Amino acid sequence: MMTKLFEAATLGSIDVKNRIFMAPLTRNRADNQTDILPDMAIDYYRQRASAGLIITEATQISPMGKGYFAAPGIYTQEQTAQWKKIVDAVHEEGGKIVLQLWHVGRISHTSLLPDNARPHAPSAVKAKAETFTENGFESCSDPVEMTEDDIKSTISDYKTAVQNCITAGFDGVEVHAANGYLIQQFLSDQTNKRTDQYGGNIENRARFLFEILDAVTGVMPADKVGIRFSPMVQGTNDLKATNPLEDYTYIIDKLNNYSLAYMHFVEKFSHAALRNEDEHAVMVLREKWDGFYIANGDYNLIDATVAVNSGFADAIAFGKPFIANPDLPYRLKTGAAFNPDRTDTYYGGGAEGYTDYPFLKST
């Protein structure tokens, strides 16, 4: 079967050489004090520049946005300078790269936050989840409900982060509104119990998201901005919603007015099964979206070919396969075997399991 996966495409104003995208992959290798990635990250991203588009690992927009040990930031000049080296390396190899903007909200621990502060959240609803700290996995700390000043400050942090992304030379940014983190916490009626203009009906619960998008697109053109959702993946980071189909129908209808570069949609997680009603909801929401659609959900080559050839998806985001196979597009195109992966090196550590996976042409 011929596949469009290897054909060029344009999302917004970003031209890409193929439709095999590298999904965000948290690797926990930044300096935990400065949130700056090590120099070996330059090689890590350079190695994977054959992807049509690289979406970076989730990157916190502020010290209060941090939720995991050794995750990178994009809120200081020093962090921005290191990201610029990474962007330049990807561009030298002919690749395109966007940064994923991240605030974890309640999925954090006081030991990770300035002055051992309590995590910020739309409401003081503790997550029945764990996060990764210097001591290993620990229960998430009790969050504090954000004041309206906190909300305004956080939106300003998004704007500053985007300005830093422009300085670093990124081809665009992705607003992370999925996986149970801060933006999705505002969207869910189970984690957002506010009674002000940011709580209640979906119009109010989505206000935070759209104010962020207004701030982001006020700095970077909308055709360089993407967004990530995971509405039907219930339970991730203890995030659930009563009527996700109804909520995201409203959100996507409004989102269509923004003319964003793309929507990155997590349909399901690896090896997870969706209920029939959830699969139906994914189809309905896909049809609502007018723009470039990046599908994410444990796709293999056959599934990806069918999705792109049929027009259901415009591109496919591959996650874990890119860890062990820096030359993933070439391996998919030639039918070559994948490198065996080493799951014990996924998170944290040094170059082992990070930059030492061989390319097909060198084996």
Distance CA 148, CA 154 (A): 10
Q: 88, 42, 70, 197: which is closest to 134 by C-alpha?
A: 70
Evaluate whether 174 touches 98 at the Cβ level (below 8 Å).
yes
Distance CA 154, CA 108 (A): 16
Structure tokens at 287: 């049809």
Structure tokens at 101: 């903007």
Helix count and strand count (H, E) for the chain: 11, 15
Distance CA 261, CA 293 (A): 9
262 is catalytic: no
One of 44, 45, 181, 354 is an active-site residue; which one? 181
Indicate the pairing of strand 293-296 with strand 315-318: parallel
**φ, ψ (nearest 5 deg) of residue 54:** -95, 125
Q: Please report the DSSP string for 87-147 in residue order.
A: HHHHHHTT--EEEEEE--TTS--GGGSGGGPPPEESSS---S-EEEETTEEEEPPPPEEPP
Evaluate whether 139 touches 201 at the Cβ level (below 8 Å).
no
CA angle 176, 181, 186 (to 5 degrees): 95
Distance CA 249, CA 245 (A): 6
Distance CA 337, CA 125 (A): 46
Distance CA 34, CA 63 (A): 10
Question: How far, in whole angstroms, is CA 275 from its chain's centroid?
Answer: 24
Cα–Cα distance list, 222 to 130, 225, 255, 284, 329 (Å) = 34, 5, 11, 24, 28
Q: Tell me which H or E stretch contains 21.
A: strand 20-22
Q: Looking at this protein, which amino acid is placed at residue 325?
A: N
Structure tokens at 239: 């995030």
- Give me the active site residues, please: 181
